[in-house]
Amino acid sequence: MSIRVVVVDDQALVRRGFVMILRVHDDIEVMAEAGTGLEAVEAAHKHRPDVILMDIRMPGMDGIEAASRILREADWDVRVLILTTFDPDEYVYKALRAGASAFVLKDIPPEQLATAVRTVAEGGALLAPSITRRLIDQFAERRVVSTSVAGRLARLTGREGEIVVAVARGASNSEIATQLFIGPATVKSHVSSILTKLGLRDRVQIVIFAYESGLVEAGDHDIGH
């Protein structure tokens, strides 16, 4: 089945460019375009897309507020991929906390845009390296673990805790399987269990939880690096 997409950007030429890039792919169907956050919310409810490509800076309701509202109100499985020309700290953190599954810069090569959409549609996480560094820097200044986060952490088994740490350090399922001497299918099962227990949407939110809970701290090395 085709991946249903809505493209949101207040600049018509930019928006049309994304639409043209995506429409050459048989497995991606652009359902609608929107130029404001409010239009994005309306288009999401009308077309029930699998993925929304969302600009951040828009007049009125911005992309972060629109994403938060769509994800909060949706009664179907929808993911938000944030597209922007810049990556200042406050937008990175706010967008991911709002529930965005991916955050990439608009200078992404055209051939990689469709790959990004597919990755997000399949439940994967996608962050530009510069954005990942900025996200980690945000948590470097956060030292207090809230009671609610600590309580959720207690729901995890020891093995699940290990996998949360590995995901936060950027490891793929196959890399985690190799490190922990278990099968990739077992890792996938653990990740699904973690998402359910913690009430999270995807791997990006696992990363955020890992830092907020103190399981991982800024400065920890990535697996394999």
Which pTM does this prediction carry?
0.74
- Cβ partners under 8 Å of residue 44, min gap 6: 6, 52, 70, 74, 78
pLDDT above 70 as % of the chain: 84
Per-residue pLDDT for 225 more than 50? no
pLDDT value of position 104 = 79
- Cβ partners under 8 Å of residue 157, min gap 6: none
**48-82 pLDDT, tens per residue?**
999 999 998 888 899 999 999 999 999 999 999 98
Tell whether the torsion through CA atoms of 141, 145, 148 and 151 is positive or negative. positive
Per-residue pLDDT for 182 more than 90? yes
pLDDT value of position 59 = 86
pLDDT confidence bin for 162, thresholds 50/70/90: very high
Backbone φ/ψ region at 93: left (φ over 0), alpha (ψ -120 to 50), beta = alpha
The beta-strand segments (E) located in 20-163 are 28-34, 51-55, 79-84, 102-105, 126-127
d(CA 27, CA 36): 26
- Grouping H, G, I as helix, E, B as strand and the rest as coil, residue 201 is coil
Per-residue pLDDT for 171 more than 90? no
d(CA 74, CA 70): 6
